[in-house]
Every structure is written in C-alpha cells, then in structure tokens.
Amino acid sequence: MTIFKQSIFVFPLVVYLSLYAQPFPPADTPRQSENDPYVLGPDDQLKIWALGMDEISDKPVRIDPSGNIDLAGTGSVHAGGLTIEQLKSALVERFSKQVLYPQVSVEIVDFGSQPVSVMGAVNHPGVHQLHGRKTLMEVLSLADGLRPDAGPHIAISREIRYGPIPLLGSKLDSTGQFSVAVIDAKELLSGLRPAENILISPHDVITVSAPEVVYVIGEVKKPGEVPLRDRGGISVLQALSSAQGFGPAPAPQDSKIVRTVPDSQERIDIPVDLRKIMAGKAEDIALRPNDILVIPISGPKKMAARLAEAAIQAATGFAIFGRP
C-alpha cells in the first residue's frame, strides 16, 4: 500500500519534469514560425518616444554591432535579440528611475539586421532586407522574380546557427558551418510543393541556377547554344532542328557528342551516326546539360576547301611579292 501511494505522487512528478524541465533556447535564437515577432538586431534603426523625456523623443537611433542603443540622458541599452515589446519593457524599467509611471513607444523606422542574398538568374540580384518573416517566394519577389531563362534549381545556404534548413535532402556543407538544400524551381513556382516555400532566415543565400543548355557546333545553319528550359530534356535530332539543320557540306555519319564526365574536368567523345538516326535505323540519343553536339564537314569538301584556301593564300602572296 505504501509503494502504491508513493507511485501516485512520483509519476506526475516525472511527467512534469519531462514536459517542463527542458532547457529554454537562448533569447536571440531565431525561430521558424510565421507568428514570431520581429527580433531586433544590429543596423536596425528605431524611433523611441517617452513621455516626459524630451531629450530622446522622436530621435532615430541605430542599433550598433554589439546590439546596443545609446540614449541621451539614459546611457546604453541592449536591444539586440529583443522584440519590440521586450525592448519597451526594458525601457519602462530603465525610465522608471527618472520618470513616474513612464509611457514608452518603440517604432522600427529602418530594417538593417536581416539581410538575405539573392543571386543567379533573377531580375535584380543582390542583398535584400527581410523586414520581418518572409517565405522563399516572397524573397524571390524582392528580387523581381526569376529571369525567363532561369535554370531548374534553387539552392539555399543557411548559417548553422539559424538551424538546419527544414527541407528533405538538406545537409551540412564540407565546413559544417552551413546547411544547404536544393529544390526544383518549377515545382515551387507552380505550387506543387507548398511545403518547400519555407521561411527564410537572416543571412541566407538563395541562388537560382543559370539556364541549362546544350551546344550544337560544326556544319549546321545556326550553331550555338540551345536552352533546355521547360523542355525536360532534348535529343540529338531536336538539337539539330534547333540549329536549323545541316549546313551545305555535313558529314552526319561522323558526328559526335562531347560530354564532361561528372565530378571531373575530363571530356569523352561519344560517336553518333546522324544519318542512321534520321533514317530510323538507330535510336535518337538524349543529350545532357552542357553536352556539345559536333557535326563535322565532309572529308572531300573539307579537302577542297583547304586546297582553295591554300590557292588563295598562294595567289595573294604572289601578288604581293611578285615573281622571283
């Protein structure tokens, strides 16, 4: 009976300790919640008004790198890591030594402590201020959105002190100082994965990838790069079509794909017989981003072109120097 009575009192105590005796996070630890109030930091500028204290009323003051503000007649007050309400409470306590029942208001007039870098294929890359809690889509809007030729991926890098990026597949970089993640730009913008529209933390770096392309060079009418945006992939024949077909003297049977080996600077040559592919006797090959499709000039034509070039050079030399 004694043991039973003791267990009645011990069990609630264990539950209480497990639920409430957890360490509280530091006051300046950012939290990933849309309902969190704005946390003040260095370079934020405040306007503080206090009844009966004319020396500080309506005079903007900027939070210094240490997180402090310097108020005339009052001295230094720590503001970094506090919300507006927390700072008001601290100021009321400080001013109560000088004024009976002080009334205080605090207003943010300029945000400066929450920079985020938006780089890559956006219309206005650069450093932007969060001005509070903002999602990934909202931050991309600050950069006026993605360029029409933007690539398929958006990379996010976050200082580990702000916690890991809450996305599937996020990981630490090689230094262990940053959490990194990559998401599909098309799925984010189409709303197919709303969970990836995460809240952005101060000092995040968001990079929109450059457009993925393949290159078609050699004996074609329009050599150059072929963008892959919205294609989902491209084949050899599609790339040839984008280059407006063969030039006057191609050697389609001797074509090749020059491909970079992943995680290496080495390149390999993949023979391609375009003549057979066009005749339906060979499979149309899928190209990868940065592949180079090379269509050479035919052998006899090449030799004739070289002979003609040599003849022109010889004739030019004769005209200049004359007979011996």
Q: What are the structure tokens assigned to 189, written together?
A: 């913008």
| Ranges of each domain in the chain | 45-110, 115-208, 213-301
Average confidence score pLDDT of the chain: 80
pTM of the model: 0.60
| Pairing, β 178-184 against β 171-172 | antiparallel
Is the domain defined by 213-301 classed in CATH 3.10.560.10?
Answer: yes
Q: Dihedrals φ, ψ of 311, to 5°?
A: -65, -40
CB 150 within 8 A of CB 178: no
Alpha helices in 148-246 (DSSP H): 185-190, 236-242
Q: What are the structure tokens assigned to 287, written together?
A: 């190209």
Closest CA to 157 of 175, 137, 181, 133: 181
Q: Which has more pLDDT, 100 or 157?
A: 157
Please determine, for residue 311, whether its predicted confidence score (pLDDT) is greater than 70. no
Superfamily of domain 45-110, CATH level 4: wza like domain (3.30.1950.10)
d(CA 297, CA 219): 6
Closest CA to 153 of 115, 180, 182, 130: 182
203 backbone φψ class: left, alpha, beta (φ>0; ψ -120 to 50): left
CB 256 within 8 A of CB 291: no
Is the domain defined by 115-208 classed in CATH 3.10.560.10?
Answer: yes
CA dihedral 98, 103, 109, 110 (to 10 degrees): 50
* pLDDT-derived band at 231, boundaries 50, 70, 90: low
Residue 208: partners with Cβ closer than 8 Å, 6 or more residues away: 118, 119, 120, 121, 122, 140, 146, 147, 150, 151, 153, 154, 185
Around 309, how many Cα atoms within 13 Å sit in the side-chain half-sphere?
6
Q: pLDDT above 70 covers what percent of the chain?
A: 79
State pLDDT tens for residues 242-264.
999 999 999 999 999 999 887 77
* pLDDT-derived band at 21, boundaries 50, 70, 90: very low
- Domain 115-208 and domain 213-301, same fold? Reply is yes
Calculate mean pLDDT across residues 60-71. 89
Please determine, for residue 33, whether its predicted confidence score (pLDDT) is greater than 80. no
* 158 DSSP β-pair partners: 179
DSSP 8-class letter at 255: E
State pLDDT tens for residues 180-225.
999 999 899 988 889 999 999 999 999 999 888 899 999 999 999 9
* pLDDT-derived band at 57, boundaries 50, 70, 90: low
Residue 295: partners with Cβ closer than 8 Å, 6 or more residues away: 216, 217, 218, 219, 220, 240, 246, 247, 250, 251, 252, 255, 274
At 71 the pLDDT is: 85
User: What is the residue-wise DSSP string for 268-312?
Assistant: EEEEE-HHHHHTTSSPPPEE-TT-EEEEPBPHHHHHHHHHHHHHH
Overall size of the chain counted in residues: 324
d(CA 146, CA 303): 48
Q: What are the structure tokens assigned to 161, written together?
A: 């002190």
